[in-house]
Amino acid sequence: MPTPGTSRSTTPGGLTRPAPPSTRRRPPIAIVCGGDDFVVDDVRRFVEASRSRGATIDLRVWPGMIHCFPVVAGTPEGASALAVLAAHIRSAVAGASDARR
């Protein structure tokens, strides 16, 4: 069974390929990433491709930060990134609740 949001096909390097875009409405996405993260270029490409298909994405890149920096205990950058994600979730949940009324 494929991972949700992916297809069974893979890239030549064996990586799972994202599922083709659908026409159904997608929720907004928030991404936090370190500027020195080894995936930052891939993240930027993902964001650009997703936005070109109509996705709403809030990308925040912290200069000088590494992969998984938000979970490094006690850092101001990590706390700030987690606050961004928490605010995004609160907003998305509130918006979903309003849409159901």
% the chain with pLDDT above 90: 58
pLDDT, residue 100, reads: 62
CA 82 to chain centre: 13
pLDDT tens, 72-98? 989 999 999 999 999 999 998 987 766
How far apart CA 100 and CA 94 sit, in angstroms, is 10
In a domain, 35, yes or no: yes
How far apart CA 1 and CA 43 sit, in angstroms, is 25
Domain that residue 64 falls in: 27-100
Please give the structure tokens belonging to residue 46. 């993902």
In a domain, 1, yes or no: no
pLDDT, residue 38, reads: 96
In a domain, 66, yes or no: yes
In a domain, 2, yes or no: no
How many structural domains compose the chain? 1
